Structure 1
């Protein structure tokens, strides 16, 4: 169920990136994204490092190991939740430049965080093993991202073909969900297959693939309205299932032991998000009232 829900959420995220609507917002999206990434990753990394004395599993680590863990934590804190943002926008039926900017930033941050975490993982590995950064890893990373984008384009063409066929709308919705699900299954299969046969894991990004597919259908096919209708009518059921499962998976026993640390990181992240979005929006020339609430 998670894979079906995440596939749908990625389709919904891609559908929000309609270039005709976003063309005038690209400058704001770029600056706010830059501000958020720099602010959250820097403040998050520093905060986590200073909290390592209070975290049980990091207390006995060396300074180098703490730095490595903090770098990874900083990347994780950058991550946003497109699913939550899209669900709120749909629930409130929010429209307008501010909403477009927020959704654009949220979706693009998903791609940025994938790259950032991969690079930070390599830096952390180099710190822990005392080796230099591997250029081959960088090439592999960009190769995986390029392949994911290409597969997203192919999936978009497949969805375009599906939407052009005269069958019931319900059938199209079910097949679309199954296509999203198949992306996650195929990605997992490729990861295990490449690990066993090649000795190197090929990590495709199923969320990125589905987002690119939906982005293609929305912007470069005549089926935008049909795709949006499928997503709109399917959304409530998917969101109910997804957030119910998410709530059920919360490990409250773990949170009860680390709630002070979690609360501190929450407020630090909150402040860093405000600083990043406010600074980015100000540089981009966004209205001050938008910067104050972003």
Structure 2
């Protein structure tokens, strides 16, 4: 068996860069910048255009890491779309989403097309090709960042109808963006090939979306079965990543097969397949909690890897040439968000005091947008890297400005509760139940089913039987002293239920 020493060397070098990226990202959070910004900056500095710690050839060898991360981002987007959490605000979510998509996509398409003469890689292309590129850029500019939204909500302990609406719109937009990008990239492919727009192309795009959704459903069922395997969580996480990675070579195989054998090009968008799979597991299986646990387990490592790779692959020279274009596109996107959120809120009948500030919660961008920009870079190598650099510049601006605006909006809406109680990293409320018995476990199951992270605390000394439900943690305690309660963080929980003896319950209070 031949060992690819160059691949091993590239992985070792990139592993060291990723470790540094994690530390730099943590430092950025201390000065109130997003983690993602630190990861991107580390990649830029270590990349072949600045310090040259990693070469262009090494980046090409570890490209499979990029695909693994992209598939995982699709899974995570689907996992966030848990329907029961958004039913109460469905009308507002529907109208605001529609308003945001229509206004942002339309204005962004027009802006990129009108500015194409000033964009170096677009200036020499024919008008249809420039329009196709504008469609893909606009689809990326529609994207939001659920991870950034959840981080801000968690930081401020925010809760209420406005917060639920914002999170619902943000997550729903991931679904819309991937479908919109699938359509836009198919149309752009036809325009760039100067094939024109035909009715058969429309049918092909619809067929591709249906096929991708069908494959996603099958993949979701497979992941549901994998989640039930009684193996170590890390091994399950590796299997999860393997599943999402295999979508990419399958999509490439089908693309080449259809082009060579069937006189048509069928391309199944891998991100759409993975997102549908995550949605199916989350909403139509008994493995939702275990799947979410795996996403949370693997997520931090995947995000560090992906964003650092994006930074290292960034065409920095092109970024410097197009920064003024990026600033203009950033401004156009803000205008589109304001118009769309206000129009959608008014159509839904929401009060003006919320409509006038809701736009501030939809500015952040990160994973999906960066992932789609990278896809364009790979699919269209002639100008894709320059396109990705321009779009990443816009995304970085949004990610710098977005979180502070989001915090300000939650404060103005009166749903910021900084001292109100602890939530986990996903933004889930945390409950502590004292007492391990049938009644406490039944209550824990009910809370867990409604999206709570539950800790059941017990003073029993005998061995604790494993609880089958995920999301319910059994925590043994030696006593109920203030020091012990402080150690487990009980004082910061959103809910405490005491089911011990009266004197012990009183001691907890």
Q: TM-score range by the shorter chain?
A: 0.7 to 0.9
Decide which of 313, 316, 335 is 1:252's aligned counterpart.
Answer: 316
When the two chains are superposed, the root-mean-square deviation of aligned CA atoms in Å is 2.6
Q: Does the aligned pair in 1 maintain the 2:97–2:169 contact within 8 Å?
A: no
Equivalent residue pairs, number: 287
1:163: Cα distance to partner? 1.3
Give the whole-Å Cα distance in 2 for the aligned partners of 1:42 and 1:210. 27
Q: Give the corresponding residue for 1:76.
A: 137
Decide which of 138, 148, 161 is 1:88's aligned counterpart.
Answer: 148
Q: Give the corresponding residue for 1:8.
A: 72
Sort the Cα spacing of 1:45 and 1:85 in 2 relative to 1 into closer, same or farther, 3 A.
closer
Q: Give the corresponding residue for 1:137.
A: 201
Q: Give the corresponding residue for 2:344.
A: 280
Sort the Cα spacing of 1:59 and 1:216 in 2 relative to 1 into closer, same or farther, 3 A.
closer
**Which one scores higher on RCO, CA 8 angstroms, separation ≥ 6?**
1
Give the whole-Å Cα distance in 2 for the aligned partners of 1:57 and 1:217. 41
Q: What pairs up with 1:216-231 in 2 under 5 angstroms? A: 216-231=280-295
CA deviation map 1:115-146 (0-9, x unaligned): 541574378469x56x6x31111111111111
CA deviation map 1:86-110 (0-9, x unaligned): 3324544636404422333331232
Give the whole-Å Cα distance in 1 for the aligned partners of 2:242 and 2:255. 20
Alignment of 1:121 with 2:188, yes or no, is yes
Q: Does the aligned pair in 2 maintain the 1:80–1:109 contact within 8 Å?
A: no
Q: Give the corresponding residue for 1:27.
A: 91
Sort the Cα spacing of 1:52 and 1:25 in 2 relative to 1 into closer, same or farther, 3 A.
same
Sort the Cα spacing of 1:168 and 1:81 in 2 relative to 1 into closer, same or farther, 3 A.
farther
TM-score by length of 1: 0.86
Unaligned runs of 5+ in 2: 1-64, 362-509
Q: Give the corresponding residue for 1:46.
A: 110
Q: What pairs up with 1:151-190 in 2 under 5 angstroms? A: 151-190=215-254
1:281: Cα distance to partner? 2.5
Q: Greater CA radius of gyration, 1 or 2? A: 2
Give the whole-Å Cα distance in 1 for the aligned partners of 2:224 and 2:172. 26
| Range 281-290 or range 19-28, more displaced | 281-290
Give the whole-Å Cα distance in 1 for the aligned partners of 2:344 and 2:133. 23
Q: Give the corresponding residue for 1:66.
A: 127
Decide which of 303, 328, 333 is 1:269's aligned counterpart.
Answer: 333
Give the whole-Å Cα distance in 2 for the aligned partners of 1:23 and 1:175. 32
CA deviation map 1:162-214 (0-9, x unaligned): 11222222211110110000011211121122212223211001111111111
Q: Does the aligned pair in 2 maintain the 1:76–1:117 contact within 8 Å?
A: no
Q: Give the corresponding residue for 1:236.
A: 300
Decide which of 357, 360, 363 is 1:293's aligned counterpart.
Answer: 360
| Range 66-75 or range 204-213, more displaced | 66-75
Give the whole-Å Cα distance in 1 for the aligned partners of 2:189 and 2:319. 29
| Range 41-50 or range 9-18, more displaced | 41-50
1:28 counterpart SS class:
helix
Give the whole-Å Cα distance in 2 for the aligned partners of 1:173 and 1:179. 10
Structure in which a larger fraction of residues adopt helix: 1
Q: Does the aligned pair in 2 maintain the 1:40–1:74 contact within 8 Å?
A: no
TM-score by length of 2: 0.52
Q: Give the corresponding residue for 1:203.
A: 267
Q: Does the aligned pair in 2 maintain the 1:71–1:120 contact within 8 Å?
A: yes
2:86 counterpart SS class:
helix
Q: Does the aligned pair in 1 maintain the 2:109–2:135 contact within 8 Å?
A: yes
1:114: Cα distance to partner? 2.5
Unaligned runs of 5+ in 1: none
Q: Does the aligned pair in 2 maintain the 1:80–1:106 contact within 8 Å?
A: no
Give the whole-Å Cα distance in 2 for the aligned partners of 1:98 and 1:185. 37
